[in-house]
Amino acid sequence: MARDDQQPVLRFLNSPRQPLFSFKRVARTFLRHARVNILGTFCGFIILFLVFIALAAPLVSPYDPKERNLDLRYDPPSTAHPFGTDRTGRDQLSQIIYGSRISLQVGFASVASGVTIALTIAVLTGYLGGWIDTICQRVVDTMIAFPGLIVALFLIAILEPGVSTVILTLAIVFIAPASRPIRAQVISIKNNVYIEAARALGCSNIRIMTRHILPNIMPLYVVVVSLFLGSAIIVESSLSFLGVGVSPGTPSWGRMVTEGTSSLFLAGAYLAIYPSLAIAITVFAFNIVGDTFRDIWDPRLRGAQ
């Protein structure tokens, strides 16, 4: 017979365990916040629409983005060409549609790889501490001291320009700023009582980091990824604007803005306005969605309007 003071413990041990991740619970949470945060929901649909346009570009694009027709150079917006044509007669709308592929590919690939590396470094250094944490944080301080665009220009000058080079460069740039908030969260979780209980039960450091710390910082990981996506698109567009981004001839929003500003007095402002609007709307949507994820998963903001 168990004593009365042991009954709650026995009921807890015999009760069915709840899974760490429940799709139904996450879906209910998102639906509840979707009804409250209308702007975040609207921006989420914008991102889904952009992803659909990027994947179905060959189907929805009215023309080949690389097709040149000198007879239609600097043609203003019309029924045949809603966004007009550039200095070589290429359709602007088709270039913007195909340019979304480059922006989203560079954004998702660079941020996912860079923030994942930052997550690994933050969990290891934040939990282990000591001289490992000290050395890594001094390296992070050094990387943060340099502007990200300057570092990207330096790395691209060493490597060969191209989409893969831009992805690798942005991934390196995002490691340092992404590791800081994740490391702070790891240190906060490390001081909780259940971590001490796991150590007392004889759990190894690897098990504590993977089973107790990592699941608790995944919401922050998603928030950091969503917030950095907008920055990745801005940096990629800036590199293409400076002429050191993707290879020449590849449709890119930043390169379209460069060509539009150089032809401002010959064709008007429409060549630069439409790609600039595409960049602004995409970055705005990613930033709002990142703020929405933060509001959903941050307990201090939960319930705030």
pLDDT digits (tens, 9 = 90+) for 238-251: 888 777 777 777 78
pTM of the model: 0.76
d(CA 35, CA 37): 6
Phi-psi region for residue 86, left (φ > 0), alpha (ψ -120 to 50) or beta?
beta
What pLDDT is recorded for position 19? 46
Low-confidence ranges of the chain (pLDDT < 50): 1-2, 9-10, 12-21, 303-305
Q: Exposed, middle or buried by CB within 10 Å (0-12, 13-18, 19+), for 4? A: exposed
Residue with tokens 């600039």: 276
With CA atoms as reference, report the closest residue to 95 among 86, 108, 87: 86
pLDDT of residue 299: 53
> Comparing C-alpha atoms, which of 288, 261, 285 is closest to residue 272?
261
Q: Please give the pLDDT value at position 24.
A: 67
Q: By the 8 A CB rule, do 90 and 68 touch? A: yes
- pLDDT at residue 81, rounded to an integer: 83
How far is the C-alpha of 214 from the C-alpha of 53, rounded, in Å? 34
Contacts of 63 (CB under 8 A, 6+ apart): 90, 91, 93, 94
Q: What pLDDT score was predicted for residue 301? A: 52
Please report the pLDDT score of residue 246 as a whole number: 76
Contact 114, 172 (CB under 8 A): yes
Within 13 Å and on the Cβ side, how many CA atoms surround 40?
Answer: 19
What are the angstrom distances between the C-alpha of 133 and each of 119, 137, 159, 172?
14, 6, 30, 19
DSSP structural state of residue 19: P
CA gap 150, 47 in Å, rounded: 28
The full set of domains in the chain, from first to last, is: 93-305 (1.10.3720.10)
Closest CA to 114 of 225, 31, 2: 225
pLDDT tens digit sequence for 210-227: 888 888 888 888 888 888
* Phi then psi dihedrals of residue 278, to 5 deg: -60, -45
Both ends of the chain: CA-CA distance in Å? 51
